[in-house]
Structure 1
């Protein structure tokens, strides 16, 4: 009997897999902190003999090479990938024996990258699963634009053909195990699914239900911005990243924190947006562990900027540090734990209010209404927005901060997390802000005038 164990990395929207027969195991697409994989293998009482990499990842730093070295396993990836380390190169059609029961057939499935591979797992002559990486996802496919605009059209067409190949060559009952698609920006769209089969994908996946031209047009039209730090992931993975150092950084006192803030470093408060708004060290920024912490921190922070972590406990700092190493931010400059009063010295805490869309509706009736800043992505804005609001996507705010109109700024997104991040950034730049901590679904019922582009104004 073959068991497949998924290992989720929610902060990045990815999954790693460990498949075993009770004695030996293979691993697919492990994250940088591979100690979690070792824990899975130990709990299952199995020995890892093979580590498969579906592609040179763009959204995280792999732990595959170091995991393979640590356990003495083969490290397998496409023989055509240009890398700086020894590995076992495989190509389309190769078959890899894993123990006495498992056979892995290598399938070239370009689309997310040119050299992308999928891995079809068989046991006792039966198709068990296919590990599809960034190819066929749950109700979607991996995005084709991460290698640059010159490759997007070619890869989009290739993605369609790769999905069709998987559907044609594998039985309907074959379980589908993608790496991306659980919130990762590597996914073209988000389906919200947690499990699927080839047969289920044939019924619902656009790559399998629409013709090639329509699929390509709709796929490319639906693409939006992806994190800037992606540019650093491919080179790191091709060079062969080492084992991360997860030991805690040095403690910083209030004087050192102030020096780091004044030097232009990023001092990051890991508490929730609500806790941060209620009281924080002036000049700090807020990326709470309760949201997509590492995605937005690594996206917005100028790459290479020293980062100091402020957490209520050492465990909070350790959690943040683990997420940071997954994207190649290896060593925080310093840390501090406790409450904001412990981090300020003699300085008073800074604060700003939080509010709801109902509160905003009331403010907009005043003689001098505030600035409303929408920090959602372009695709979200295109569906509907508050009439009169200013739109600057979250990842553009720092570069366009001069475009934020004067006066008090009410910042909103779709659910509150991104609004809190931007409110903290504006607060650190001396702006008067209010963070709307509310679901955008409440904006219309609250009486705010909503506009749907190319349609008409929606009634409040």
Structure 2
């Protein structure tokens, strides 16, 4: 078959910053690469073309999402292709460096590219002898390479040096070869994230600063300098993917709960997650609940801030999609979903329960409160309010005692800041305001200029 751009269908997960891929093989069959357990986008794309997934290839044992390969094997009879070194505990075709799979006109060649993980493979797609593109997973990504610290600090330098060799191996492919990475902008597996999702080998030779490193030591320094924090759940999913996620035979339910059941869940050590917009949470919420607005980044913050071992109940608005909550939770292995509060906050209040409220204020109504910035380090360094106390949202629960009393909490827009305020309220703080906006709004309202660069600002 002749291969054209329309045969490759990117499957973008905006929230996790990842791209899976569906390749139309031209005969009603398809190849899926790095498909997530949340297969809704893949199913929609396959359905439009009448495709059945015949092959499901995983470039590595993912830390940020559960693989959909086992589900595709169950549903479509897909042959799972993955590294033999991954020691996966479910049926698959174990591949080593140089192994090829005949896709029926196209060929998929495994290239060992360790670094992001030990067992990492890239997959080179060939039409005869012509290199069409390479699925690089967490090896070469656009203008960077994926992080090498997921297996522990004691392995970080070793894996960074492996990443150096892997990138150079990929760079030896012909310039016309397309580069199709999994990790990209917004992914906590990227170091640092770029803006473009795909590229070519030729472009990367000219634009990737890591490929421009004159030697291995310089490469390692540049790569490790871009490593920021990452969600706690990353430490669990590699092994979950090695064993394989449970097959789902239907869309998991999110049962209806009354107010009494929600109270009982809280009393028994469960958690209430309020997924309504930040302004709705501010106006009134269940005391002790955690605000994580339902948006693209919902799964990231759910997995960063709460354990996967306790039951979760959700507070929603009537117009919010319950299946979105379920799939975002399930794709990162959160399956103890007790249900949602039927009738939302009006039902909670009608049952005679109290609610709490949080100030959600414009920049010119913050007064002289201490300013807490909960953004990531790279965001903070790019521009922050002078004198701000910087505690990343992911670290806040463990460092709530470091937060000044009576603060205004801020991020870029307000969603993460509202989550931070809910964490501080759970830790016992009561006089908290959340900035409706970001640092530039605050600086303009207070006649100040933002400061750049990292600094130790924790009180």
TM-score (norm 2): 0.91
- Displacement of 1:372 in angstroms is 1.8
Match of 2:116 among 103, 112, 115: 112
Residue 268, structure 1, aligned to residue 273, structure 2: yes
**Alpha-carbon separation, structure 2, partners of 1:192 and 1:338:** 41
Deviations 1:117-167 (A, max 9, x none): 111112243222211111111122110111111111111122122112112
Deviations 1:88-127 (A, max 9, x none): 111111111101x211111111110111011111224322
Is the Cα–Cα contact under 8 Å of residues 420 and 437 in structure 1 kept in the other structure? no
**Alpha-carbon separation, structure 1, partners of 2:322 and 2:454:** 46
**Alpha-carbon separation, structure 2, partners of 1:359 and 1:422:** 19
- Displacement of 1:334 in angstroms is 1.7
Of 120-129 and 144-153, more deviation after overlay is shown by: 120-129
Match of 1:61 among 60, 66, 82: 66
- Displacement of 1:36 in angstroms is 4.0
Is the Cα–Cα contact under 8 Å of residues 265 and 307 in structure 1 kept in the other structure? yes
SS in 1 for 2:254: coil
**Alpha-carbon separation, structure 1, partners of 2:452 and 2:200:** 36
Deviations 1:391-449 (A, max 9, x none): 2221121122222233x221012332211111122234452211112132334333236
What CA RMSD, in Å, does the superposition of the two structures yield over aligned residues? 2.1
- Displacement of 1:287 in angstroms is 0.5
- Displacement of 1:331 in angstroms is 3.5
**Alpha-carbon separation, structure 2, partners of 1:331 and 1:11:** 21
- Displacement of 1:239 in angstroms is 0.9
C-alpha distance 17-391 of structure 1, shift in aligned 2 (>3 A): same
Residue 448, structure 1, aligned to residue 448, structure 2: yes
Match of 2:192 among 182, 189, 194: 189
Match of 2:204 among 179, 184, 201: 201
Deviations 1:292-340 (A, max 9, x none): 1110111111341211122224752210110000110123012124442
**Other-structure match for 2:166:** 162
Of 134-143 and 248-257, more deviation after overlay is shown by: 248-257
- Displacement of 1:454 in angstroms is 7.9
Is the Cα–Cα contact under 8 Å of residues 11 and 323 in structure 1 kept in the other structure? no
**Other-structure match for 1:435:** 434
**Alpha-carbon separation, structure 1, partners of 2:15 and 2:132:** 28
- Alignment gaps of 5+ in structure 2: none
C-alpha distance 172-343 of structure 1, shift in aligned 2 (>3 A): farther
SS in 2 for 1:415: coil
SS in 2 for 1:400: helix
**Alpha-carbon separation, structure 2, partners of 1:61 and 1:13:** 14
Residue 426, structure 1, aligned to residue 431, structure 2: no
SS in 1 for 2:166: helix
- Displacement of 1:383 in angstroms is 4.3
**Alpha-carbon separation, structure 2, partners of 1:134 and 1:93:** 18
- 1:119-134 mapped onto 2 (5 Å cutoff): 119-134=123-138
Match of 1:82 among 71, 74, 87: 87
- Displacement of 1:53 in angstroms is 0.8
Is the Cα–Cα contact under 8 Å of residues 281 and 350 in structure 1 kept in the other structure? yes
Residue 34, structure 1, aligned to residue 33, structure 2: no
- Displacement of 1:251 in angstroms is 1.1
**Alpha-carbon separation, structure 1, partners of 2:328 and 2:266:** 22
Is the Cα–Cα contact under 8 Å of residues 377 and 393 in structure 1 kept in the other structure? yes
**Other-structure match for 2:415:** 417
Is the Cα–Cα contact under 8 Å of residues 164 and 207 in structure 1 kept in the other structure? no
**Other-structure match for 1:150:** 154
C-alpha distance 41-239 of structure 1, shift in aligned 2 (>3 A): same
**Other-structure match for 1:135:** 139
Is the Cα–Cα contact under 8 Å of residues 87 and 242 in structure 2 kept in the other structure? yes
**Alpha-carbon separation, structure 2, partners of 1:47 and 1:303:** 33
Is the Cα–Cα contact under 8 Å of residues 121 and 128 in structure 1 kept in the other structure? yes
Deviations 1:29-73 (A, max 9, x none): 111123543342232123322111100111111111221232222
Residue 248, structure 1, aligned to residue 247, structure 2: no
Is the Cα–Cα contact under 8 Å of residues 11 and 293 in structure 1 kept in the other structure? yes
Count, aligned residues: 445
Of 257-266 and 79-88, more deviation after overlay is shown by: 257-266
**Other-structure match for 2:377:** 378
Residue 278, structure 1, aligned to residue 276, structure 2: no
**Other-structure match for 1:349:** 355
